[in-house]
Amino acid sequence: MNTKTLTLTLNEGYFVRRTWFDWFFALAALAGGGYALLRYSGYMDVYEKAILICSIPAAIWIGWFWKNLRILMLAVASISVMAVVSYGGSLERAETAFWLKYFFSSQSAILWMSLLFFMSTAFYWIGMLAGSGRDGMQRVGTGLTWAAIGMGLIGSFVRWYESYLMGPDIGHIPVSNLYEVFVLFCWLTAAFYLYFEDQYETRAMGAFVMLVVSAAVGFLLWYTLVREQHEIQPLVPALQSWWMKVHVPANFVGYGTFALSAMVAFAYLVKQRAAEARWYKLAPLWLLGVALCFEPVVFRRGDGVGGYWAIYFGVSALVVAGILMGRQRIARQLPSLEVLEDVMYKSIAVGFAFFTVATVLGALWAAEAWGGYWSWDPKETWALIVWLNYAAWLHMRLLKGLRGTVAAWWALVGLAVTSFAFLGVNMFLSGLHSYGSL
């Protein structure tokens, strides 16, 4: 068999393996993308039209690659369209239409996402610690996580439409401020986790990964309920660019997978030290666990901790204490150290690839907006530090055989560095990227 025949055989085999639902999904993606292009092309420039056209085959491929996504994507698209139609062109309908007011307006959907993520975290941990019915509890956790991702996506798409209802000059993709990118971070991180859960056929990692998602949700609720920073705002001039539509999502794939790898690293260390009976030997895990669970508190300043963060701290401390006290039972439920290490590596590899792309796109955007590819702005400097940190981690693993405890601690340090690049720069340093306020 020559190379041409082999290529044809492989290609034919790939398409022959498609089921009727695969083809239905592909047709639905083509129809939906085509309708969006015809209906909303007046709001798009040539670059945005190109992004939409390219996203159609990309959506089909990812739906075929990971079949669980097909139902999610169809459900999110259907409900989002229903919500958009329910507005009838008036933003005031968000307060009068039942389904919008209580479920599918952007704010309602995102609050549901927050609740569902908290519930999924609880069920993952109940399953982890339960003596019986463990698998059933964790299955519920998985289902709730899927539902939370769906509500987060619906909320984001509907918010996008709501911004255009406020005015064509205000409308923009919802990735422009801290509120919107925290929503993006939550559902992206959870979606990547569910992929690894499916691939490795273990739900035990969810108990750890969902902690960082719940921490982000806690920050998001504070930002919404206490700071009231959830309202849609017009874009500042520098953000009025199509580059934002590709740079920010790529960046947050990196942030999400780096956070995922850190929580898997935490699970690795808990499993590794499960048999340790001397509590002083576990002191680093105590401090580390508390820092991971209530990371947003570290970034509060000025008016002190306050009641909201005091409660948050208390809950986080109880969670970490529970992990360490029940570490032997938890360790028995976790997959092998080899599996945890593999997930850690793959998460960092995916995140590094996307973060590299995001950094290049950011340089191109900077050249268009400010006239230079690189200006050593604090955000750019810390993005470079994050990139170098994970480049070194991957170099040491691939060329020097880095494994085990050092790799896990390094992944956790990476989360601290990434968190400062994401939040700390906005708080403590000023620069061209200071768009989000705390």
**Measured distance CA(159)–CA(165) in Å, rounded:** 10
**Measured distance CA(260)–CA(340) in Å, rounded:** 11
SS3 at position 1: coil
Task: Please give the share of the chain, as a percent, with pLDDT higher than 70.
Answer: 87
**Measured distance CA(141)–CA(124) in Å, rounded:** 5
What would the two tokens of residue 191 be? 């979606």
Q: Is the pLDDT of residue 133 over 80?
A: no
pLDDT band of residue 8 (cuts 50, 70, 90) is very low
**Measured distance CA(304)–CA(308) in Å, rounded:** 11
> pTM for this one?
0.91
Q: Which of 58-72, 125-139, 367-381 has the lowest mean pLDDT?
A: 367-381
Spatial neighbors of 227 by CB under 8 A, at least 6 apart, are 438
List Cα–Cα distances, 133 to 110, 130, 141, 143, 419, in angstroms. 30, 7, 13, 16, 36
Report the C-alpha dihedral over residues 379, 117, 193, 51, rounded to 10 degrees.
-60
Q: Is the pLDDT of residue 119 over 80?
A: yes
pLDDT band of residue 265 (cuts 50, 70, 90) is very high
SS3 at position 232: coil
DSSP string, 275-315: T---GGGGHHHHHHHHHHHTHHHHT--SS-SHHHHHHHHHH
Report the C-alpha dihedral over residues 173, 175, 180, 181, rounded to 10 degrees.
150
At 184-223, the pLDDT tens digits run 999 999 999 999 999 999 999 999 999 999 989 988 888 8
Of 313, 310, 319, 177, which is closest to residue 235 (Cα–Cα)?
177
List Cα–Cα distances, 328 to 33, 201, 334, 336, in angstroms. 50, 21, 10, 14
Note the pLDDT of residue 326. 83
**Ramachandran region of residue 368, left (φ > 0), alpha (ψ -120 to 50) or beta?**
alpha
Note the pLDDT of residue 420. 87
DSSP string, 191-207: HHHHHHHHHHT--THHH
At 321-352, the pLDDT tens digits run 788 888 888 999 999 999 999 999 999 999 99
Q: Higher pLDDT residue, 313 or 59?
A: 59
DSSP string, 317-366: HHHHHHHHHTHHHHHHHS--HHHHHHHHHHHHHHHHHHHHHHHHHHHHHH
Residue ranges of the domains in the chain? Answer: 66-166, 172-438
At 232-259, the pLDDT tens digits run 888 887 777 878 888 999 999 999 999 9
pLDDT band of residue 62 (cuts 50, 70, 90) is very high
